[in-house]
């Protein structure tokens, strides 16, 4: 059945309450490879609760908090879920995340755009994360490309189609990066990352991965996203996660555990907002670009 615009836009998602602990923050950092240089102060700041400066929380941990689960597989949704790709991720940080305490996630389908029969649809999931007192910590927008669901407007008798999000700016061309960061992806990286939120079998089950065209299970795109954030913080913010304000990217290809992720970063031009960083990421072994249109915004100190 064609997707039902009105049903998806009005669909109720129960609030997701989650207790954030030091162990949860450390597991997230370890899943992104932060423990590879285990004795360095940079690693210990995110992986040791007894760190002299206090345990730091990577702001991209927002993507695994308040997660609604695999709701797109529920019968009422009527999405061709096997053909849904996570196309972009956008994050706005309003307050630093606490090491301990309750985080409440509120999810909704914010936009649904019909690109036409045979061209798919675009669905934007919005998530607001707040503390137990209601103070907003972060806002996330997850852009999903629903490749098998285009043409719902005509098929359902002229249902609405929302305006898409403003496009992300392209990565700089013809200019050497100002900084480069490389991270080896542990063979068990996806097995660790899935314990945090996303248990899609695509990332663990070889049969499922092969059924949708991958040679083996792939790393979560949001794990690559988190590694790119580590790179930006390392090179431009002295590993201070409280300086991150925005972090956006587009996913262009999968990463396999056991590969090496290379993140290239550029400081913004003079006519851009101060603290603007552009980035892209590629797999070293295959020379394949996997993150494009990356942009971060850091508080200037």
Domains, the chain, with CATH or none: 5-298 (3.10.129.10)
Q: Which of 114, 149, 198, 248 is catalytic?
A: 198
Strands 101-114 and 16-20: antiparallel
Residue 250's pLDDT is what?
Answer: 97
Instruction: Give the pLDDT of residue 46.
Output: 96
* Alpha carbon distance 282, 253 (integer Å): 9
Tokens of residue 175, six digits: 């200019």
Catalytic status, residue 51: no
User: What percentage of the chain reaches a pLDDT higher than 90?
Assistant: 72
Q: What is the pLDDT of residue 39?
A: 84
**Three-state SS for 50?**
coil
Q: What integer pLDDT is reported at residue 38 of this predicted model?
A: 85
User: What DSSP state is assigned to residue 275?
Assistant: T
Does the pLDDT value for residue 73 go beyond 90?
A: no
List 105, 221, 268, 294, catalytic entry: 221
Q: Is the pLDDT reported for residue 93 higher than 90?
A: yes
DSSP alpha helix (H) spans, the chain: 5-10, 22-31, 41-47, 152-155, 189-193, 206-211, 221-236
Render pLDDT for 238-273 as a digit per residue (tens, 0 to 9).
Answer: 999 999 999 999 999 999 999 999 999 999 877 788
Q: Examine the residue annotation and report whether 221 is marked as an active-site residue of this protein.
A: yes
Task: Tell me if residue 86 is catalytic.
Answer: no
Kindly state the average pLDDT of the residues 29-57.
93
In angstroms, rounded to a whole number, what is the distance separating the alpha carbons of residues 278 and 287?
19
Q: Are 159 and 239 in contact (CB under 8 A)?
A: no
Catalytic residue among 72, 218, 227, 277: 218
Spot the catalytic one: 203, 220, 235, 293: 203
Burial pattern 124-154, b for ≥16 Cβ within 10 A else e, equals: bbebbbbbeeeeebbbbbbbbbbbebbbbbe
* Helix 22-31 with 221-236: angle, nearest 10 deg: 100
Q: What is the pLDDT of residue 156?
A: 78
Name every residue whose Cβ is closer than 8 Å to that of residue 102 and which is 6 or more positions away in sequence.
Answer: 17, 18, 19, 20, 131, 132
Average pLDDT value for residue range 59-65: 96
- The reply to whether 174 belongs to the active site is no
Instruction: List alpha helices for 59-151, DSSP H.
Output: none
Segment 97-108 shows an average pLDDT of 93
**Nearest-angstrom CA–CA distance, 154 and 152:** 6
């Amino acid at each position: 059945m064609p997707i039902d615009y009105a049903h998806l836009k009005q669909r109720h998602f129960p609030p997701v309450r989650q207790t954030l602990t030091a162990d949860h923050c450390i597991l997230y950092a370890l899943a992104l490879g932060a423990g590879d240089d285990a004795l360095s102060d940079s690693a210990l700041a995110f992986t040791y609760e007894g760190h002299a400066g206090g345990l730091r929380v990577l702001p991209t941990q927002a993507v695994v908090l308040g997660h609604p689960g695999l709701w797109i597989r529920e019968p009422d949704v009527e999405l061709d879920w096997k053909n849904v790709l996570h196309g972009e991720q956008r994050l706005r940080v309003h307050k630093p995340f606490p090491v301990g305490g309750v985080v409440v996630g509120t999810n909704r389908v914010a936009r649904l755009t019909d690109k036409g029969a045979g061209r798919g649809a675009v669905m934007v999931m919005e998530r607001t994360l707040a503390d137990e007192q209601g103070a907003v910590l972060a806002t996330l927008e997850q852009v999903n490309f629903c490749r098998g669901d285009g043409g719902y407007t005509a098929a359902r008798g002229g249902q609405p189609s929302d305006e898409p999000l403003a496009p992300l700016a392209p990565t700089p061309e013809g200019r050497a990066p100002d900084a480069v960061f490389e991270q080896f992806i542990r063979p068990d990286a996806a097995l660790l990352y899935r314990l945090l939120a996303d248990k899609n079998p695509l990332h663990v089950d070889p049969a499922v991965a092969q059924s949708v065209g991958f040679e083996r299970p792939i790393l979560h795109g949001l794990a690559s996203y988190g590694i790119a954030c580590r790179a930006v913080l390392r090179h431009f913010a002295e590993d201070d996660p409280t300086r991150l304000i925005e972090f956006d990217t587009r996913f262009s290809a999968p990463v396999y555990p056991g590969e090496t992720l290379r993140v290239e970063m550029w400081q913004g031009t003079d006519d851009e907002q101060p603290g603007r960083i552009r980035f892209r990421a590629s797999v070293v072994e295959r020379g394949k670009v996997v993150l494009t249109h990356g942009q971060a915004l850091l508080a200037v100190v």
